[in-house]
Structure 1
């Protein structure tokens, strides 16, 4: 990325002017009387770009060549890397012999990704178009939806265990795919924001450092949802053999409440709410450890119940992680003021 140096000139009584680099002018197609946007950057810098760029769709393409022996999960991982990197046209090349798992791959893409449309498909490959970033669904809003989904999964999973509702448990496992889809979309948006200050502004963010903190928050919520799905799987796989102690179910509801407190602190970037939630989570973890000790060795050897208790503990811990992100975002916001 070239860096240009210019000296400020004075014209008229007090007007300061700077000439534009001819190479850049030619590359972007500027003409006399074209409009430019200028955006102040944290730290005193100034970013400018042609207004026409906001109306022009930038096509960023990549091609992923798929080995013939790759399974659909492997292909999805390769596709995800391009999707998250921010490419809006992704081509999958299968080679001369084609790819025998195309149907499974397309189903997995629909399940795991937001805004992917297959625009072309042949024996030798697939071309997909990815939804661009849009201010109606910015990363913070996506993360809020993820957190709400994860919290509802936690509560509903515990309710399903209490009421032996295997159908609800199955539904919770499916909801985990929705959280994953939002996670991949949020990280895609944030990576795009990091790559371009102009795009960063359209996402409602001010600094690339915000993107890094929000990526951590999104991953934390995605992991908390995984543990909610694991709680639901307790009913699906173990209900006929093991009944969890009522105290453990109660602890699960408390962990979910703490997670919601942490989500609120994150969205509000509230230092006081984050610190309060972190203190309560620390006390909860000590209580859960004491409860485990009182139940004795026999309960510890019940692997299903022990795994359930670990899921509950981890949900609370992920709440603490969200509080740390809230503190980081609050500190960053105070620096930028």
Structure 2
């Protein structure tokens, strides 16, 4: 940190000199305008970016016939979440067919990514989405609706031995993931570009809070998917009706806790968040009762049934994590 003294000029203007190295690195010339942005914590952001244009960043990956498909997909997702505006894949020779196929899959998974240029040896992807047009709150609300429906349908598939419905729940998990990636990307973009934070009217700390809650909702979606997978494992087996009833009761309670936690999140209600946390203990009691019952049946059915009970419990616990995040964030705002 450089310490500089405030000086007065003209009797009424307060001035602070800018670091020479920073001025040169930003290519700032005499009489160039710069922006001054007051941050929520009282600090002052000095930026040469005053036009409101997004920061343009490019990431290039070298690919070839020996490129690992899964690893490349992870790199693409990583570059997307990191906030790169343009992603380019380059090969020394002709691009292998599986690379083109993977790129098509990625553009379907990642919101806003489109192929803008393609040759025999390269593919260029560009983000065409304006982040300011996708408010964090709306995206998280959509995630909540999707995940809640997934868990309800997973339990319906279990009771009705509905293989198609269980597989549909599993497929929907991709939609939850892509919404979470979008929030993660926006969070990173706000960290990189202060002007975006101003345009979206979202302070950096609040963006991080939204990302944290989004991550928890995405994990709840993973457990709804896990319930669907285990419903498939029980598709040709009968589960004791009383055990099924207990599972339904526990799932209903878990989703009630989930919805209450999201309500507390959207309205910023500490009291509601705290009251919802108390409900998690009741859910734990119900899932323990389910586990005690499934231990009395054969292992081939007991294992998936026990995993369903565990996922229902985790849905409640993760919802409790949302409540804790609400309390922590609101208390921090009041400080």
**TM-score interval (norm. to shorter):** 0.7 to 0.9
| Correspondences of 1:150-229 after superposition (within 5 Å) | 150-208=147-205, 210-229=206-225
Whole-angstrom CA distance in 2 between matches of 1:110 and 1:264:
32
Alignment match, 2:226: 230
Indicate if the aligned counterparts of 1:299 and 1:305 stay in contact, CA closer than 8 A: no
Whole-angstrom CA distance in 1 between matches of 2:238 and 2:174:
27
* CA shift digits 1:165-219 (9 cap, x unpaired): 43333322221111010111111111122234333333332234x3443333222
SS at match of 2:296: helix
Change in CA separation of 1:297 and 1:160 when aligned onto 2, cut-off 3 Å: closer
Report the CA distance between 1:327 and its aligned residue: 1.8
- If the length of structure 2 is used for normalisation, what is the TM-score? 0.86
Alignment match, 1:66: 63
* CA shift digits 1:271-320 (9 cap, x unpaired): 11111111101221123213422554327762221121122112111111
Whole-angstrom CA distance in 2 between matches of 1:280 and 1:299:
32
Alignment match, 1:284: 283
| 1:10 pairs with 2:16 | no
Change in CA separation of 1:58 and 1:43 when aligned onto 2, cut-off 3 Å: closer
Whole-angstrom CA distance in 1 between matches of 2:236 and 2:168:
19
| 1:79 pairs with 2:76 | yes
SS at match of 2:96: coil
Indicate if the aligned counterparts of 1:9 and 1:17 stay in contact, CA closer than 8 A: yes
| 1:320 pairs with 2:320 | yes
Alignment match, 1:293: 292
Whole-angstrom CA distance in 2 between matches of 1:161 and 1:103:
38
* CA shift digits 1:3-27 (9 cap, x unpaired): 6665433344534344556766673
| Correspondences of 1:33-48 after superposition (within 5 Å) | 36-48=34-46
Report the CA distance between 1:51 and its aligned residue: 6.3
Indicate if the aligned counterparts of 1:96 and 1:124 stay in contact, CA closer than 8 A: yes
Whole-angstrom CA distance in 2 between matches of 1:71 and 1:241:
39
| 1:134 pairs with 2:126 | no
The more displaced of 106-115 and 5-14 is 5-14
Report the CA distance between 1:236 and its aligned residue: 3.6
Indicate if the aligned counterparts of 2:35 and 2:50 stay in contact, CA closer than 8 A: no
SS at match of 2:202: coil
> Superposition RMSD on alpha carbons, in Å?
2.7
Indicate if the aligned counterparts of 1:138 and 1:204 stay in contact, CA closer than 8 A: no
The more displaced of 61-70 and 176-185 is 61-70
Gap regions ≥5 residues in structure 1? none
Query: Number of aligned pairs?
Result: 330
Alignment match, 1:310: 310
SS at match of 1:298: coil
Indicate if the aligned counterparts of 1:267 and 1:326 stay in contact, CA closer than 8 A: no
SS at match of 1:302: helix
Gap regions ≥5 residues in structure 2? none
